[in-house]
Amino acid sequence: MTPIIQFSHVSRFYQTVIGVGDVHLDLPAGAYGLVGPNGSGKTTFINLLAGMLRPSIGEVGVFGVNPVKDRRVLRRIGLCAASDLLYPNVSGLQWVEYLVGLHGFSIDEAHDRAVATLIGVGMEANMRRPIGSYSLGMRQRTKLAQAIAHEPDLLILDEPFNGLDPIGRFELTSYLTDWISRGRSLILASHILHEVEAVTKAFLLIHGGRILASGDAADVRAMLSGFPAQIFVRGEGLPRIAMELSSERWFRGLDLSADQAEMTIRVSDKVAFLKRLVELANLPQVNVFALESPDGSLESAFEMLLRVHRGEHVAEVAH
């Protein structure tokens, strides 16, 4: 499939700070979550994609076109930015109508599209009120409306769930799921993993300006299969268990809480660990109350990737 987004060894520097570093990827049409903590480079990635920033090194292509050199491609992109709206005395309808008009639509057509889209995002009752009187959720809906009113092929959302109440989150998730089902592409940037997981299973994990992994959760888990799994244990006599386990060949490390009632253990063979734990649980003054393995969630995969990225697993393997 022809990629809609191409990053060819793209780096973007802010003086001595790396915004994104050597990103190289080809993404076919589809929906992707761009997941990373605050300051990880998500917004820089999006700004490069939308042609607002030029790469310091490398080249960016969207629908086969460099968005800085040929801005006509922007007509195919809709962006809902993370920044807030600060036009207090303008109504949501006037603002959306204006931005739709800037895509080249006539005044009447821009008006019709703005009204229809604002109704579609649940702003029918409030679209004629000044933006200054909107709640954060209403402003998010209005921002979404301006991004989709011209029917782009690629929708980019930067932290769209910020400020939305649970109903708003549910409605936005449903809207985005519907958007994807209509065959349109989506980039959803967020630092909240479960929100991304509710919309799409394919994601790009970004940290320190680098794409750590891409694919779905299963792809990442497969990639990490050789790395230690983390298991959380709560109980009594945990120092004894820790001492017994430390001599096992699959043991990779642990963190024991100050009150010695909880520990997180890292092992390379989960089955062997569980068998041994059953034996240890029968020792006198040892009780295991809870056992949790977050593996399987996107969050745990992300945590694992960050540890790999920081080189922590190397130390653990050496141990």
Partner 1 sequence: MYSTILHVIRFEFQRSLTSGRILTWLLLCLFPMLLVGMLQWQSDGNLPEFALVMACYTLVPQIGCMLGLLMWASPAIGSEIESQGWIYLTLRSRGRVSVAVGKYVLAYLWCASYGIVSACGVTMLSQHDEPVRLAAALIALVLLSSASYAALYLAIGALAFRRATVVAVVYSLLLEGLISWIPATVNQLTVSYRLRALLIGWLTPDMSQLPEDALLVFGTEPIWFNIACLFIFTAVCMFIALLTIHQREYPVQAEA
Q: Where does this chain touch partner 1 (CB under 8 A) — which range of 89-97, 120-128, 291-299, 302-310?
A: 89-97
159 binding partner 1? (CB under 8 A)? yes
- Report, in Å, the least distance between residue 147 CB and partner 1: 8
Q: Which is nearer to partner 1, 42 or 313 (CB)?
A: 42
Q: How far is the CB of 245 from partner 1 (least distance, A)?
A: 41
Residues 6-35 interacting with partner 1 (rule: CB under 8 A): 19
- Does 238 interact with partner 1 (rule: CB under 8 A)? no
Query: Does 69 engage in binding with partner 1 (CB under 8 A)?
Result: no
Edge-to-edge strand ranges of the sheet holding 251-256: 251-256, 262-267, 229-236, 287-292
- Contacting residues for 113 by C-beta, under 8 A, at least 6 apart: 100, 105, 149, 150
90 binding partner 1? (CB under 8 A) = yes
Residue labelled with tokens 């100050």: 258
Q: Given candidates 117, 140, 146, 200, which one binds partner 1 under the rule CB under 8 A?
A: 146
By the rule CB under 8 A, 85 interacts with partner 1: yes
Instruction: Give, as ranges, the residues between 190 and 209 that touch partner 1 (CB under 8 A).
Output: 191
> Is 43 one of the binding residues for partner 1 (CB under 8 A)?
yes
46 or 304, CB closer to partner 1? Answer: 46
Minimum CB–partner distance for residue 14 and partner 1 (Å): 9
Q: Is 282 in the site for partner 1 (CB under 8 A)?
A: no
Cα separations in angstroms, 232 against 63, 262, 268, 299: 45, 7, 14, 15
Q: How far is the CB of 61 from partner 1 (least distance, A)?
A: 16
127 binds partner 1 (CB under 8 A): no
Q: How many residues touch partner 1 (CB under 8 A)?
A: 48
Stretches 47-55, 217-225, 232-240, 242-250: which one binds partner 1 (CB under 8 A)?
A: 47-55
What minimum distance in Å lies between the beta carbon of 62 and partner 1?
12
Q: Is the CB of 50 or the CB of 231 nearer to partner 1?
A: 50
Q: Does 260 bind partner 1 (CB under 8 A)?
A: no
Q: Which CB sits closer to partner 1, 190 or 230?
A: 190
HEC sequence for the chain: CCEEEEEEEEEEEECCEEEEEEEEEEEECCEEEEECCCCCCHHHHHHHHCCCCCCCEEEEEECCECCCCCHHHHHHEEEECCCCCCCCCCEHHHHHHHHHHCCCCCHHHHHHHHHHHHHHCCCCCCCCCEHHHCCHHHHHHHHHHHHHCCCCCEEEEECCCCCCCHHHHHHHHHHHHHHHHCCCEEEEEECCHHHHHHHCCEEEEEECCEEEEEEEHHHHHHHCCCCCEEEEEEEECHHHHHHHHCCCCCEEEEEECCCCCEEEEEECCHHHHHHHHHHHHCCCCCEEEEEECCECEHHHHHHHHHHHHHCHHHHHHHC
Residue among 18 and 288 whose Cβ is closer to partner 1? 18
Kindly list the residues in this chain that would bind partner 1 in the complex (CB under 8 A).
Answer: 19, 38-39, 41-44, 47, 50-54, 71-75, 77-79, 81-87, 89-90, 94-95, 97-99, 101-107, 110, 146, 158-159, 189, 191
